[in-house]
Amino acid sequence: MNAKTLLGMDLPALRGLAEEFGEPSYRGLQLFESLYKQRVEDVAQISTLPSSLRAKLASDGYSLGAPRIDSKFQSIDGTVRYLIACSDGQTVESVWMPEGDGGESADGTEAGDEIDTPSRSRRRATICISSQIGCAVDCQFCLTALLGVKRNLSVGEIVGQVGAILRDQQVSPPEDRVNLVFMGMGEPFLNYDNFMKAVRLLVEGVGIPESRMTVSTAGIVPRIFDFGAEPVRPKLAISLNASNDVLRTELMPINRKWDLRALIDAARAFPLRPRERLTFEYVLLDGKNDSPENAREVAQWIRGLRAKVNLIALNPGPGIGFQTPSQERVETFQKILRDADIPTFVRRPRGRDIYAACGQLKRTIELIGPSEITLEKQT
């Protein structure tokens, strides 16, 4: 990877860079705006800078370092899965879900809190982005786990996924309402510093409010505490996925390190903002973790927390040894939680036909029959 990449640098760093080149520090602000507000695709497009400075940046080895769209797959439900290439040739996946919440909040409510009147000309969508190439957490029901972890994404590569998709879809926050979920490939809390730096640039530079962002963790407990202390942070979702330690350790080996007691204690200690709720995600695996008894155990853990539960019926995939439960089992599970006064919603799968749904991101085109997709090679 090129260490001298501009994308990912914050305003103080860009001001410092300008000064290093003997330029006034306001050039740093111009760089910042070009990178994050205008979202230029290369240094030559930064028209506010004198061409001498652009030349100096280039001769000193600076490049933009923006990841590029390699290909995209369009689902019948409007979801688009992007395969995005980093400068070292590694690829990562991000997902565009037009209209509303993309099933993230699952209950039809918006991710943010402000009320506004949607205008016909403005777009709403949710973008799901990745934090690592592959994943080390090894959850038994998730396709990304089959890759193992290749490396962390840099700050620029995290922000750059959003930039590339906004450009491709021709939308621009804050006028267009964009929700962001850090729920793609990887475990954001195992790439914590880059993830948080990216969040700050997305808020301050790109203009997506933190109230429209949600990060999901498999349960890296010490980072949940760090995250709670952040002055600017997305909302928190926790992948619960099992109702007791025996089951959770089998499905999510990370549970050996931080068990349910530790996880729920961290959730209880998490400082919520006014009106904010935690989300617990629970992937339902037929006959494995989806019985009425499992639902009652979940209710025990969550009781008294300001939280909601998003149920996700398993999105299947090759090499995943579990089945999707019937609608009836999902509804029974939901009813038990609701009867225990826990707001519980069923997340609507998006882009299953193109392997874009939760747990299906695996950087592959081989997985899918060509008849099921529209593949658009970018040039």
Instruction: Let me know if 365 is exposed, middle or buried by CB neighbors in 10 A (0-12, 13-18, 19+).
Output: middle
**Among the listed residues 36, 82, 141, 195, the single contact to ligand SAH using CB under 6 A:** 141
Q: Of 93, 104, 187, 210, which is the active-site residue?
A: 93
Residue 243 interacting with ligand SAH (CB under 6 A): no
**Among the listed residues 187, 210, 290, 353, the single contact to ligand SAH using CB under 6 A:** 187
For residues 112 and 212, is the Cβ–Cβ distance under 8 A? yes
Q: Of 86, 135, 142, 358, which is the active-site residue?
A: 358
**What is the C-alpha separation between 36 and 207, in angstroms, rounded?**
8
Nearest position to ligand SAH, beta carbon: 359
Residue 315 interacting with ligand SAH (CB under 6 A): yes
Cβ at position 250, least distance to ligand SAH in Å: 14
Closer residue to ligand SAH in complex, CB, 14/284: 284
Place of tokens 């050039």: 27
Residue 214 interacting with ligand SAH (CB under 6 A): no
**Residue 358 is a catalytic residue:** yes
Closer residue to ligand SAH in complex, CB, 53/143: 143
Closer residue to ligand SAH in complex, CB, 166/309: 309
Pairing of strands 307-313, 68-74: unpaired
Cβ at position 365, least distance to ligand SAH in Å: 19
# residues contacting ligand SAH (CB under 6 A): 19
* Phi and psi angles of residue 32, each rounded to the nearest 5 degrees, phi first: -55, -45
Residue 285 interacting with ligand SAH (CB under 6 A): no
Residue 142 interacting with ligand SAH (CB under 6 A): yes
One-letter amino acid of 307: A
Residue 92 interacting with ligand SAH (CB under 6 A): no
**Residue 110 is a catalytic residue:** no
Site for ligand SAH in 149-178 (CB under 6 A): none
**Among the listed residues 314, 337, 346, 356, the single contact to ligand SAH using CB under 6 A:** 314
**What is the C-alpha separation between 112 and 114, in angstroms, rounded?**
6
Angle CA 180–374–108, to nearest 5: 35
Closer residue to ligand SAH in complex, CB, 218/330: 218
Peptide bond into 349 cis (omega under 30): no
Applying CB under 6 A, which part among 46-54, 103-111, 139-147, 269-277 lies near ligand SAH? 139-147
